[in-house]
Amino acid sequence: MQIRTKIAMQFSLIVAIILAVFSYSFYYFSENFRKQEFANRLTDRVVSTTKLMKKLGITEQDKKKIRDANKTTLAKLNAEKVLVFNSEDKLEYASYEADSIKYSPKLYKRIRQKRYLDTTIVGEQIIGLIYKDEEGKEYVAIASSNDTSGKENLIKFRKTLIISFFVGVALTIFLGVLFAGQSLKPISDMNREIKNITAYNLQQKLSTGNNHDEIAQLAHNFNQMLVRLERSFELQRSFVSNASHELRTPLASLKSEIQVALERERSEGEYREILQSLLFDTQRLIQLTNGLLQLAQSENREKSVKFQAIRIDELLFEAQEEVNHQNANYQVLIDFDEIPDDDEWVTVNGNDALLKTVFTNLFDNACKYSADYKAEVKIKFNQKNCIISVKDNGIGIPNEEISKIFEPFYRTQNAAVYKGHGIGLSICRRIIDMHKGKIEVKSEVGQGSVFTVLLPHL
């Protein structure tokens, strides 16, 4: 069911309930009022009759006079009867010519008990009361009549209420659908606009109108989400094109080396030399694809990575060994700024393999971009973090490029002559983010750089 219909239905249901309650109350009070008014008139009639009886007596002549007086003084009620019964329940007086009229003895009994009774018997309203004559004799005086005109009016009133109820509900449904449709129009417009947005036209935005309501807010937030998506799509696209470019260069060089080798017959020594060079290029290619794989994995394996307590000093020594193993010229010097008293200060919550990747990258860069191939590593602590700084005396990073070096494939101008693909630092930053840590850099061209990593303790 559409929201528009749902809102209109709920609104109409509420109005219908309110209308029904009001109509019923009107009807109920009108019916009570009619009964009460009719009872008052009957009471007047019976009281005036008994007064006359007291005044005139109850001979046949008196009765006739009372009947005539009643006819002239009071408005005639529909089929009105005024009857007076003595203590033996025998009819003493009737407002019309009647020989024997009897009600059930139970009725006389009830009137005698209650002294005043207002009741309805077979559609006739009956008022009964007790009247005492001069000698103290008790009589039961009854006035009865059928309020046909009052009842007819009430039936008409009920019909009017029922018709007004249905007309009111129909009108509410109509207006509800109309207004709900109007209020939800911006959402329908938004739906239509969203249908036209695909991965290829993310720059298209939803119109937010001049309003500042919730729907405009929703459109605004949706637009912001589109901007984020566009940015991430752009990153993906540039990643793929950069990655294929990086892969194409070593592959092209492999191809040309093989082509040159095949141009003529060569000696065994020459073949060996060519194969050696091919092996070197293949190793670079493997390194690059490993890097790309790591970068791609770090994007989406955040949840599956297992964290554990790691002693940061041990991890740094392992990374040092790995860098030395890969390049014997490189020198990584590790130094504790101060020896911690507590073992927990050297412990961080992390993933061993990923953190080792970070520090081998940083050590490798520090040595690679320095003439002395040296990296100085310092470990410090504070209550929250382990702070590891990697310092070199290398080429440094130009100020205007420093913010870009963590982007995938970015290489500074002055690093062009050094081998590399510009993906190591972007992997480092992803990994440090996963560990809820921080990586910062300070650098001066020609002087060197300091990379600082902050990793929270357990």
Cβ proximity to ligand ADP, 313 vs 407, nearer residue: 407
Quote the CA–CA distance of 172 and 13 in Å, as a whole number: 9
DSSP H helices, 311-394, are 312-326, 352-368
Cβ proximity to ligand ADP, 8 vs 366, nearer residue: 366
Quote the CA–CA distance of 274 and 260 in Å, as a whole number: 10
Cβ proximity to ligand ADP, 173 vs 425, nearer residue: 425
The reply to whether 243 sits near ligand ADP by the rule CB under 6 A is no
Cβ proximity to ligand ADP, 127 vs 377, nearer residue: 377
424, 431, 432, 455: which one binds ligand ADP (CB under 6 A):
424
Cβ proximity to ligand ADP, 361 vs 389, nearer residue: 361
Burial class for 130, CB neighbours closer than 10 Å (0-12, 13-18, 19+): middle
Number of chain positions touching ligand ADP (CB under 6 A): 21
Quote the CA–CA distance of 217 and 208 in Å, as a whole number: 8
Is 419:365 a contact under the CB 8 Å cutoff?
A: no
Quote the CA–CA distance of 273 and 278 in Å, as a whole number: 9
39, 42, 46, 397: which one binds ligand ADP (CB under 6 A):
397
The reply to whether 453 sits near ligand ADP by the rule CB under 6 A is no
Beta carbon of residue 447, minimum distance to ligand ADP (angstroms, whole number): 10
Quote the CA–CA distance of 126 and 120 in Å, as a whole number: 6
- Write the interaction track for ligand ADP spanning residues 432-451; mark x where CB under 6 A is met and - where it is not: -----------------x--
3-state secondary structure of 95: coil
246, 369, 434, 455: which one binds ligand ADP (CB under 6 A):
369
Beta carbon of residue 411, minimum distance to ligand ADP (angstroms, whole number): 3
Cβ proximity to ligand ADP, 19 vs 415, nearer residue: 415
List, in sequence order, every residue forming a beta bridge with 331; answer none if it has no partner: 374
Cβ proximity to ligand ADP, 73 vs 447, nearer residue: 447
Which range, of 112-120, 227-235, 298-306, 395-403, touches ligand ADP by CB under 6 A? 395-403
The reply to whether 366 sits near ligand ADP by the rule CB under 6 A is yes
Which range, of 65-73, 203-211, 329-337, 361-369, touches ligand ADP by CB under 6 A? 361-369
3-state secondary structure of 61: helix
The reply to whether 394 sits near ligand ADP by the rule CB under 6 A is yes
- Write the interaction track for ligand ADP spanning residues 403-422; mark x where CB under 6 A is met and - where it is not: --x-----xx--x----xxx
Quote the CA–CA distance of 327 and 399 in Å, as a whole number: 29
The reply to whether 431 sits near ligand ADP by the rule CB under 6 A is no
Which range, of 152-160, 175-183, 262-270, 392-400, touches ligand ADP by CB under 6 A? 392-400
Which range, of 129-137, 217-225, 298-306, 360-368, touches ligand ADP by CB under 6 A? 360-368
Please state at what angle helix 148-183 crosses helix 3-56, rounded to 10 degrees. 160
Q: Which two tokens stand for residue 251?
A: 């592959």
Going by their DSSP bridges, the two strands 331-336 and 374-381 should be labelled as: parallel
Q: Which two tokens stand for residue 304?
A: 């599956």
Is 350:327 a contact under the CB 8 Å cutoff?
A: no
Is 164:30 a contact under the CB 8 Å cutoff?
A: no
Beta carbon of residue 349, minimum distance to ligand ADP (angstroms, whole number): 25
Cβ proximity to ligand ADP, 294 vs 412, nearer residue: 412
The footprint of ligand ADP on residues 101-130 (CB under 6 A) is: none
Q: What are phi and psi for residue 306, nearest 5 degrees? A: -95, 130
Other beta carbons within 10 angstroms of residue 155's beta carbon come to 10
Cα 85 from chain centre: 77
323, 423, 453, 454: which one binds ligand ADP (CB under 6 A):
423
**Cα–Cα nearest to 391, from 345, 334, 433:** 334
The reply to whether 365 sits near ligand ADP by the rule CB under 6 A is yes
The reply to whether 292 sits near ligand ADP by the rule CB under 6 A is no
Beta carbon of residue 399, minimum distance to ligand ADP (angstroms, whole number): 12
**Cα–Cα nearest to 375, from 351, 391, 359:** 391
Is 375:390 a contact under the CB 8 Å cutoff?
A: yes
Note the residues at the interface with ligand ADP (CB under 6 A). Answer: 361, 365-366, 369, 392, 394-397, 405, 411-412, 415, 420-426, 449
